[in-house]
Amino acid sequence: ETGVTQTPRHLVMGMTNKKSLKCEQHLGHNAMYWYKQSAKKPLELMFVYSLEERVENNSVPSRFSPECPNSSHLFLHLHTLQPEDSALYLCASSQEEGRNQPQHFGDGTRLSIL
Amino acid sequence: DQQVKQNSPSLSVQEGRISILNCDYTNSMFDYFLWYKKYPAEGPTFLISISSIKDKNEDGRFTVFLNKSAKHLSLHIVPSQPGDSAVYFCAASGSFRARGGNQFYFGTGTSLTVIP
């Protein structure tokens, strides 16, 4: 139990579908993150939120839309995805949006685009 | 361009022996380094970290060594146990970033198998 819960664990969707990934942290952290992990590639940071404000968007295509309604919840809304978007999507949180702080990860959502 | 590299995709070690996992980085501005451990179907779990002001940090069976001149990081596990079998990721961050969160650059991971 890492304190960071992601749902669903697996998701299969067509390219025209709209779906959302959900992340919830029970650690009282103020910063939350979305990462993408593709096969044989390192984790790629997608978005960073601190105190519900987006502070980083690493050139992510607009078909990925994050939402952070409060410091405990983070969503990733998906629309018109491409096959190359199939990957493991990981959510993480840290105490603050600062350096020198480990991030705590959820178990990820395995996304497959048909 | 990958700034953190783990050149060994896999490593096998006998139980009780030492496991040494290596990591190289290219950006001299990195000043904080971490190791994560990942079991199948689970997210990465923080293992140990080191700041660039140190060259060694120890936590139980795990020791991280930092060689700044060589831009090299290693994780030693001794003695290795079968439960240590997992994928190990190194990550680095640096003070060169403006406000933009706690961005870590990750390696691709090394899969460690500890043979009973």
Which residue type is seen at B84?
D
Q: Report yes or no: A99 and B102 within 8 Å, Cβ to Cβ.
A: yes
Encode chain A (114 residues) as per-residue pLDDT tens digits. Answer: 679 999 999 999 988 889 999 999 999 999 999 999 998 889 999 998 888 778 777 789 999 999 999 989 999 999 999 999 999 999 999 988 766 788 999 999 999 998
Q: Tell me whether residues A106 and B43 touch, CB distance under 8 A.
A: yes
Total CB pairs under 8 A between chain A and B? 73
> pLDDT (tens digit, 9 = 90+) per residue, B63-85?
999 999 999 999 999 999 999 99
Q: Tell me whether residues B49 and A100 touch, CB distance under 8 A.
A: yes
**A23 interfaces chain B, CB cutoff of 8 Å:** no
Nearest to B39 by CA among B86, B88, B107, B81: B86
SS (H, E, C) chain B: CCCEECCCCEEEEECCCCEEEEEEECCCCEEEEEEEEECCCCCCEEEEEEECCCCEEEECCEEEEEECCCCEEEEEECCCCHHHCEEEEEEEEECCCCCCCCCCEECCCEEEEEEC
Residue A52 has φ and ψ, to the nearest 5°, of: 70, 5
Q: Which of B44, B91, B100 sits opposite A48 (nearest CB)?
A: B100
Q: Tell me whether residues A105 and B44 touch, CB distance under 8 A.
A: yes
